[in-house]
Amino acid sequence: MRALEQRILKDGRVLPGEVLKVDNFLNHQIDPDLMFAMGSEFAQLFREAGITKILTVESSGIAPAVMTGLQLHVPVVFARKHKSVTLIDDLYTAEVYSYTKKTSNHISIAKKFLQADDRVLIIDDFLANGQAVQGLFDICDDAKVTVAGVGIVIEKVFQTGHKVVTDRGVQLESLAKITSFEGDQVHFLTTDD
Protein backbone atom coordinates (compact mmCIF):
# COMPACT_ATOMS: atom_id res chain seq x y z
CA MET A 1 0.00 0.00 0.00
CA ARG A 2 1.78 3.03 -1.31
CA ALA A 3 0.41 5.61 1.17
CA LEU A 4 1.61 3.46 4.07
CA GLU A 5 5.05 2.93 2.54
CA GLN A 6 5.42 6.67 1.99
CA ARG A 7 4.43 7.35 5.58
CA ILE A 8 6.95 4.81 6.85
CA LEU A 9 9.66 6.46 4.76
CA LYS A 10 8.66 9.90 6.07
CA ASP A 11 8.13 9.14 9.76
CA GLY A 12 9.57 5.70 10.55
CA ARG A 13 12.81 5.38 12.47
CA VAL A 14 15.00 2.28 12.41
CA LEU A 15 16.09 1.28 15.93
CA PRO A 16 18.71 -1.27 16.97
CA GLY A 17 17.49 -4.88 16.97
CA GLU A 18 15.65 -4.55 13.63
CA VAL A 19 12.80 -2.60 15.19
CA LEU A 20 10.92 0.07 13.27
CA LYS A 21 9.53 2.90 15.36
CA VAL A 22 6.31 4.26 13.93
CA ASP A 23 4.85 5.92 16.97
CA ASN A 24 3.57 9.03 15.24
CA PHE A 25 0.94 7.26 13.14
CA LEU A 26 0.49 3.68 14.44
CA ASN A 27 1.92 2.82 17.87
CA HIS A 28 1.23 5.90 19.99
CA GLN A 29 -0.24 8.82 18.02
CA ILE A 30 -2.71 7.45 15.47
CA ASP A 31 -3.48 8.86 12.03
CA PRO A 32 -7.20 8.04 11.62
CA ASP A 33 -7.30 8.77 7.88
CA LEU A 34 -4.44 6.42 7.14
CA MET A 35 -5.94 3.88 9.56
CA PHE A 36 -9.30 4.10 7.76
CA ALA A 37 -7.60 3.60 4.39
CA MET A 38 -5.83 0.52 5.75
CA GLY A 39 -9.14 -0.81 7.05
CA SER A 40 -10.60 -0.37 3.54
CA GLU A 41 -7.71 -2.27 2.05
CA PHE A 42 -8.08 -5.19 4.49
CA ALA A 43 -11.86 -5.20 4.01
CA GLN A 44 -11.40 -5.44 0.25
CA LEU A 45 -8.76 -8.18 0.53
CA PHE A 46 -10.92 -10.33 2.83
CA ARG A 47 -14.40 -9.42 1.57
CA GLU A 48 -15.03 -12.88 0.09
CA ALA A 49 -13.61 -14.81 3.08
CA GLY A 50 -16.87 -14.96 5.04
CA ILE A 51 -15.35 -13.25 8.09
CA THR A 52 -17.63 -13.14 11.16
CA LYS A 53 -15.19 -11.70 13.71
CA ILE A 54 -11.86 -9.90 13.88
CA LEU A 55 -9.29 -10.75 16.55
CA THR A 56 -6.30 -8.67 17.56
CA VAL A 57 -4.05 -8.02 20.56
CA GLU A 58 -4.05 -4.84 22.65
CA SER A 59 -3.02 -2.17 22.12
CA SER A 60 -1.56 -1.39 18.73
CA GLY A 61 -3.65 -3.91 16.81
CA ILE A 62 -6.90 -2.30 17.91
CA ALA A 63 -6.95 0.72 15.58
CA PRO A 64 -6.43 -1.17 12.29
CA ALA A 65 -8.72 -3.97 13.52
CA VAL A 66 -11.56 -1.57 14.32
CA MET A 67 -11.20 0.19 10.97
CA THR A 68 -11.46 -3.18 9.24
CA GLY A 69 -14.42 -4.29 11.37
CA LEU A 70 -16.15 -1.03 10.57
CA GLN A 71 -15.96 -1.80 6.87
CA LEU A 72 -16.69 -5.54 7.06
CA HIS A 73 -19.48 -4.88 9.60
CA VAL A 74 -18.26 -7.53 12.05
CA PRO A 75 -17.31 -7.29 15.75
CA VAL A 76 -13.72 -6.79 16.84
CA VAL A 77 -12.31 -8.60 19.89
CA PHE A 78 -8.91 -7.75 21.32
CA ALA A 79 -6.90 -10.13 23.47
CA ARG A 80 -5.83 -8.59 26.76
CA LYS A 81 -2.25 -8.87 27.96
CA HIS A 82 -1.48 -10.00 31.50
CA LYS A 83 1.74 -10.87 33.24
CA SER A 84 0.09 -13.99 34.65
CA VAL A 85 -3.41 -15.31 34.65
CA THR A 86 -4.87 -17.06 37.68
CA LEU A 87 -8.65 -16.94 37.24
CA ILE A 88 -8.87 -18.51 33.83
CA ASP A 89 -12.12 -20.47 33.87
CA ASP A 90 -13.95 -18.15 31.51
CA LEU A 91 -10.93 -17.29 29.39
CA TYR A 92 -8.98 -18.73 26.51
CA THR A 93 -5.30 -17.97 27.15
CA ALA A 94 -1.96 -18.31 25.39
CA GLU A 95 1.61 -17.32 26.18
CA VAL A 96 3.26 -14.81 23.87
CA TYR A 97 6.88 -13.69 23.88
CA SER A 98 7.09 -10.00 23.01
CA TYR A 99 9.56 -9.18 20.25
CA THR A 100 10.03 -5.57 21.32
CA LYS A 101 9.79 -5.92 25.12
CA LYS A 102 11.68 -9.24 25.38
CA THR A 103 9.25 -10.54 28.01
CA SER A 104 6.50 -13.13 28.01
CA ASN A 105 2.88 -12.18 28.53
CA HIS A 106 -0.26 -14.18 28.72
CA ILE A 107 -2.95 -13.02 26.37
CA SER A 108 -6.55 -13.86 27.02
CA ILE A 109 -9.96 -13.63 25.41
CA ALA A 110 -13.26 -14.24 27.21
CA LYS A 111 -14.82 -17.50 26.02
CA LYS A 112 -18.18 -15.82 25.45
CA PHE A 113 -16.74 -13.79 22.54
CA LEU A 114 -15.76 -16.79 20.38
CA GLN A 115 -18.27 -19.28 18.97
CA ALA A 116 -17.37 -22.49 17.16
CA ASP A 117 -19.00 -21.31 13.91
CA ASP A 118 -16.92 -18.11 13.80
CA ARG A 119 -14.64 -17.40 10.85
CA VAL A 120 -11.91 -15.23 12.27
CA LEU A 121 -9.66 -12.62 10.66
CA ILE A 122 -6.56 -11.87 12.73
CA ILE A 123 -5.23 -8.32 12.40
CA ASP A 124 -2.01 -6.99 13.95
CA ASP A 125 0.32 -4.03 13.56
CA PHE A 126 3.57 -5.96 12.93
CA LEU A 127 4.59 -9.46 11.90
CA ALA A 128 8.12 -10.25 13.11
CA ASN A 129 8.68 -13.81 14.40
CA GLY A 130 4.99 -14.63 14.55
CA GLN A 131 4.64 -15.10 18.30
CA ALA A 132 1.62 -12.83 18.67
CA VAL A 133 -0.15 -14.45 15.71
CA GLN A 134 0.74 -17.93 17.01
CA GLY A 135 -0.81 -17.02 20.38
CA LEU A 136 -4.02 -16.03 18.60
CA PHE A 137 -3.91 -19.25 16.53
CA ASP A 138 -3.64 -21.22 19.82
CA ILE A 139 -6.68 -19.42 21.23
CA CYS A 140 -8.63 -20.01 18.00
CA ASP A 141 -7.74 -23.72 18.15
CA ASP A 142 -8.92 -23.97 21.78
CA ALA A 143 -12.15 -22.25 20.80
CA LYS A 144 -12.48 -24.47 17.70
CA VAL A 145 -13.04 -21.47 15.46
CA THR A 146 -11.79 -21.23 11.88
CA VAL A 147 -8.95 -18.83 11.12
CA ALA A 148 -9.84 -17.48 7.69
CA GLY A 149 -7.04 -14.95 7.28
CA VAL A 150 -4.28 -12.84 8.77
CA GLY A 151 -3.95 -9.12 7.96
CA ILE A 152 -0.75 -7.34 8.99
CA VAL A 153 0.01 -3.62 8.71
CA ILE A 154 3.81 -3.98 8.50
CA GLU A 155 5.51 -7.31 7.83
CA LYS A 156 9.25 -7.73 8.20
CA VAL A 157 9.57 -10.47 5.61
CA PHE A 158 13.14 -11.32 6.62
CA GLN A 159 11.92 -12.65 9.98
CA THR A 160 10.17 -15.96 10.58
CA GLY A 161 6.56 -14.88 11.13
CA HIS A 162 5.66 -15.31 7.46
CA LYS A 163 6.36 -19.04 7.72
CA VAL A 164 4.28 -19.36 10.90
CA VAL A 165 1.24 -18.12 8.97
CA THR A 166 1.84 -19.82 5.63
CA ASP A 167 2.65 -23.18 7.28
CA ARG A 168 -0.88 -23.10 8.58
CA GLY A 169 -2.19 -22.55 5.07
CA VAL A 170 -3.95 -19.32 5.94
CA GLN A 171 -4.31 -16.32 3.60
CA LEU A 172 -1.76 -13.68 4.67
CA GLU A 173 -2.06 -10.07 3.51
CA SER A 174 0.48 -7.45 4.59
CA LEU A 175 0.06 -3.81 3.61
CA ALA A 176 3.79 -3.01 3.74
CA LYS A 177 6.50 -5.62 3.33
CA ILE A 178 9.94 -4.69 4.59
CA THR A 179 12.83 -6.71 3.19
CA SER A 180 15.67 -5.13 5.20
CA PHE A 181 16.89 -2.20 7.26
CA GLU A 182 20.22 -2.12 5.49
CA GLY A 183 22.10 1.14 6.06
CA ASP A 184 19.44 2.10 8.64
CA GLN A 185 17.05 2.65 5.72
CA VAL A 186 13.72 0.91 5.17
CA HIS A 187 13.69 -1.27 2.04
CA PHE A 188 10.37 -2.58 0.73
CA LEU A 189 9.49 -5.54 -1.40
CA THR A 190 8.71 -3.90 -4.70
CA THR A 191 5.02 -3.84 -5.56
CA ASP A 192 3.18 -2.24 -8.44
CA ASP A 193 0.07 -1.02 -6.56
Residue ranges at the known binding site for 5-phospho-alpha-D-ribose 1-diphosphate: 128-132
Residues in binding contact with ligand 5GP, number by CB under 6 A:
18
13-52 residues in contact with ligand 5GP (CB under 6 A) are 19-22, 27
Using the rule CB under 6 A, which residue among 128, 139, 148, 175 binds ligand 5GP? Answer: 128
Using the rule CB under 6 A, which residue among 65, 74, 127, 165 binds ligand 5GP? Answer: 127
Length of the chain (residues): 193
- Indicate the annotated binding residues for xanthine: 20, 27, 156
Q: What distances in angstroms separate CA 68 from CA 30, 37, 111, 150, one per listed residue?
A: 15, 9, 22, 12
ω before 59 within 30° of 0 (cis)? yes
d(CA 109, CA 55): 9
Q: In terms of CB distance, is 72 or 136 closer to ligand 5GP?
A: 136
* Residue 186 and residue 9 in contact, taking contact as beta carbons nearer than 8 Å: yes
d(CA 126, CA 156): 8
Q: Quick one: which H or E segment has residue 44?
A: helix 32-45
Is 132 one of the binding residues for ligand 5GP (CB under 6 A)? yes
d(CA 75, CA 81): 19
Per-residue interface string for the shown chain with ligand 5GP, residues 60-99, x marking contact by CB under 6 A: x--------------------------------------x
Q: In terms of CB distance, is 130 or 151 closer to ligand 5GP?
A: 130
Q: What is the DSSP pairing of strand 53-57 with strand 76-82? A: parallel
Q: Which residues bind ligand 5GP (CB under 6 A)?
A: 19-22, 27, 60, 99-100, 124-132, 161
